[in-house]
Amino acid sequence: MGIKKHIPNFITLLNLLCGCIAVLCAVSSDFFLAALFVFAGIFFDFMDGLTARLLNVKSALGLQLDSLADMVTSGVVPGVVMFKLLTMSLGGAETISVEASWDQANYWHGLQVPLLAFLGFLITLSSAYRLAKFNLDEDQQSYFKGLPTPANTILIISLPLILEFQGSALYHKIILNPWFLIGLTLLSSYLLNSRIKLFALKFSDWSFKSNGIRYVFIVCTLILIVLFKFVSVPIILLFYILLSLITGASGSFKTH
C-alpha cells in the first residue's frame, strides 16, 4: 500500500492548516479571508473522504484525524466569529470595524471584552460534542443526525460577509442586534446536536431516481446564490432543513 495510504491524511492536514489560518484571520477581523480559508478547508474535508474511498484506504486513524481537523475549521472558527460579532454588538458598534467596537466594550479582567460575548464559544463546545458523537455513531452514512459542522460554519461566517458586502441599514440592525446573535448561537448549538435527520450530499450513483432530492437542492442552491449572494446562506440552510424534514417524513431517502 505504501505511500498511497497517507494521501487522504495529508489532504486532511491541509484542512487543518486552512482552519488554523482562518482562526488567525477571524481574530484579526479579516472575515473575508477567514471565509476563503474555511471554504478551502471544507473542500479538503470533502476530498479526503473521497480520496480514501477511491484509493480504498479508509482507516480509523483517518476518521479521528478528520474530526480533529474539523474541530478547528468548523468548530473554533465559527466560535471566534460569533465572539467577535457579539463583542461588536454589545459594544454598540455601528460598523464591521473591530477598532470602534473594541474601544466601546466593557472591561473584563483587563480585557475590553463584554462578558456575554464569550457565549459565542458555545458554538465551539457544541461542535466538539457533535464531532465526538459522530465518530461513535455508525448510522450516519446516508444521512446526518443534526446539522453538520461545516454547514453551521458557513452560516455563521456568512453574517460578517453580509455586513461587509451587502451591508444595508436593515442588515446591520438585524445582525448586530445582540439578541439576534445570542438566539442564533443557542439555535445553532441545538441544531448541531439535535436528532433531526438531514440528508447527506453523498451520491451512490448519478441517477435522478436515487438522488432527486440532492439534485433539486443543488439547483435551488445555485439559483439562490445568484439571486441573493451571501444573504442566500441562511435561506439555503433553512431550505435544507425543511427539505430534509419533508422527505424524511415521506421516506423518499434511505436511512439505516
Q: Give the dihedral of Cα atoms 252, 235, 188, 130; nearest 10 deg.
A: 40
Is residue 38's pLDDT more than 90? Answer: yes
- 3-state class (DSSP) for residue 199: strand
- Give dist(CA 53, CA 42) in Å, integer: 17
User: Contact, 91 vs 104, CB < 8 A?
Assistant: yes
- Give dist(CA 187, CA 207) in Å, integer: 35
Write phi, then psi, for 197 (nearest 5 degrees).
-90, 125
Tens digit of pLDDT for each residue in 159-173? Answer: 999 999 987 889 999
Is residue 106's pLDDT more than 80? Answer: no
Tell me, rounded to whole angstroms, the distance of Cα 137 from its chain centroid.
20
Q: Report pLDDT for 167.
A: 75
Report the 3 state secondary structure along 136-161.
Answer: HCCCCCCEEECCCHHHHHHHHHHHHH
Tens digit of pLDDT for each residue in 45-56? Answer: 989 888 888 888
Tens digit of pLDDT for each residue in 120-156? Answer: 999 999 999 999 998 887 666 567 889 999 999 999 9
The C-alpha cell that represents 6 in the structure block: 497517507
Tens digit of pLDDT for each residue in 171-195? Answer: 999 999 999 999 999 999 999 999 9
Q: In Å, how far are 11, 82, 120, 188, 236 from 183, measured between CA atoms?
A: 35, 11, 11, 9, 19
User: Contact, 215 vs 209, CB < 8 A?
Assistant: no
User: Contact, 210 vs 124, CB < 8 A?
Assistant: no
H helices present in the chain, as ranges: 7-27, 31-55, 60-71, 77-90, 98-104, 122-136, 149-165, 169-175, 178-192, 208-228, 232-250
2-250 architecture in CATH? Up-down Bundle (1.20)
- Give dist(CA 23, CA 183) in Å, integer: 23
Continuous segment of H or E residues that includes residue 197: strand 197-199
Would you tell me how many other CB atoms lie within 10 Å of the CB of residue 193? 14
Nearest Cα to Cα of residue 29 among 87, 103, 70, 68: 87
Tell me, rounded to whole angstroms, the distance of Cα 219 from its chain centroid.
20
Q: Residue ranges per domain, the chain?
A: 2-250
Read off the pLDDT of each residue in 61-81 and give the average, rounded to a whole number.
94
pTM of this structure: 0.86
The C-alpha cell that represents 201 in the structure block: 450530499
